[in-house]
């Protein structure tokens, strides 16, 4: 091989080595960029989740302070105000507290007693008025009650065990109303129609007439709708009810109220939702909080997404 050919081969080899080194450097740089972005995203995700969980603690403080200051709960109190977006370093946080006892307690369907009997009547009426799964009322009751006796239109283990994805009836109170999707005859569309108006709470928990939405009041009070319902809600905003006797006294003529023992003007259970953003990452924490008298509120369940 002549010197010229040797020098030519050396040049080509040097160029190949340079190209290889450049490719390796580019790959390493790209990997470092991806790693940095992944680390930054994970950091923001953890921080956003931590902010959302901290918001749940904020709600407990708000509810604790309220219990020491008032003897009734209504929509004019500070806890009922939506927390607007609060800017933070490279992010923000917002949150809401909603009275869980503003809704009808679906666990009443599987319980016994005078109080739950009234609530079952109201739930039946709510389902009929709002397009809920009325045909599945017995199945929901069977899902919740502790026995294995099948009601007229209900379902127990034999039905759920025969499904392609076989299972068993819960035979226990619901923890969250979303669990109803597993019940025989509960279609998603019908469930969506009544989800804003139902809650899953301990049986016997009363409904707060100061916070119940018009749809719930219409299910509780017979012959209450339209203009009369609007007038009652508007009057409540101006002067919340201090007792159930006052609630009854302020009902319009012709309206009928039964089951007063299942009603209240103060609440123990509250839904809390907190959303946080850190960078481009978002997190949400949801919880059911229970407040008994002036004790520090307890978290019944909490979900961080």
State yes or no: pLDDT of 31 exceeds 70: no
- The confidence score (pLDDT) of residue 75 equals 97
Distance CA 151, CA 167 (A): 19
Q: Name residues whose C-beta falls within 8 Å of residue 128's C-beta, 6 or more positions apart in sequence.
A: 134
| Topology classification of domain 109-191 | Ribonucleotide Reductase Protein R1; domain 1 (1.10.40)
User: Residue 304: enclosing H or E segment and its boundaries?
Assistant: strand 298-304
The pTM score is: 0.85
- The confidence score (pLDDT) of residue 83 equals 83
Tokens read off for 154: 């209900």
- The confidence score (pLDDT) of residue 99 equals 98
- The confidence score (pLDDT) of residue 8 equals 62
Domains of the chain, by residue range, sit at: 3-101+268-304, 109-191
Place of tokens 């379902």: 155
How many Cβ atoms sit within 10 Å of the Cβ of residue 256?
9
State yes or no: pLDDT of 164 exceeds 90: yes
Distance CA 63, CA 28 (A): 53
Mean pLDDT for all residues in the chain: 89
Pairing of strands 104-105, 198-199: parallel
Domain 3-101+268-304 has CATH 3.30.1300.30: yes
Q: With contact defined as beta carbons under 8 Å apart, do 287 and 299 qualify? A: yes
Q: At what angle do helices 114-130 and 137-144 cross, to 10 degrees?
A: 140
Tokens read off for 147: 């026995």
């Amino acid at each position: 091989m002549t010197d010229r050919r040797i020098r030519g081969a050396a040049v080509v080899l040097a160029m190949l080595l340079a190209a290889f080194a450049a490719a390796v450097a580019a790959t390493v740089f790209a990997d470092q960029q991806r790693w940095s972005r992944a680390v930054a995203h994970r950091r923001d995700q953890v921080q956003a989740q931590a902010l959302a969980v901290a918001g749940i603690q904020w709600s407990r403080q708000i509810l604790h302070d309220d219990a020491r200051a008032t003897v009734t709960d209504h929509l004019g109190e500070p806890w009922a105000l939506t927390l607007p977006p609060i800017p933070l370093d490279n992010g923000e946080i917002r949150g809401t507290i909603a009275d869980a006892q503003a809704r009808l307690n679906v666990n009443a369907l599987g319980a016994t007693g005078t109080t739950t009997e009234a609530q079952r009547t109201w739930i039946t009426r709510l389902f009929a008025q709002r397009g809920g799964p009325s045909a599945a009322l017995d199945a929901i009751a069977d899902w919740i009650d502790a026995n294995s006796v099948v009601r007229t239109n209900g379902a127990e283990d034999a039905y759920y065990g025969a499904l392609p994805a076989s299972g068993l009836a819960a035979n226990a109170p619901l923890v969250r109303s979303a669990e109803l999707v597993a019940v025989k005859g509960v279609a998603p569309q019908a469930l969506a129609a009544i989800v804003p108006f139902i809650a899953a709470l301990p049986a016997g928990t009363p409904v707060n007439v100061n916070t119940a939405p018009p749809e719930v009041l219409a299910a509780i009070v017979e012959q209450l709708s339209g203009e009369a319902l609007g007038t009652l809600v508007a009057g409540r905003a101006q002067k919340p009810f201090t007792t159930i006797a006052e609630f009854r006294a302020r009902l319009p003529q012709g309206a009928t109220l039964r089951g007063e023992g299942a009603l209240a003007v103060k609440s123990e259970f509250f839904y809390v939702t907190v959303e946080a953003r850190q960078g481009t990452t978002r997190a949400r924490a949801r919880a059911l909080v229970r407040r008994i008298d002036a004790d520090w509120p307890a978290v019944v369940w909490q979900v961080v997404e």
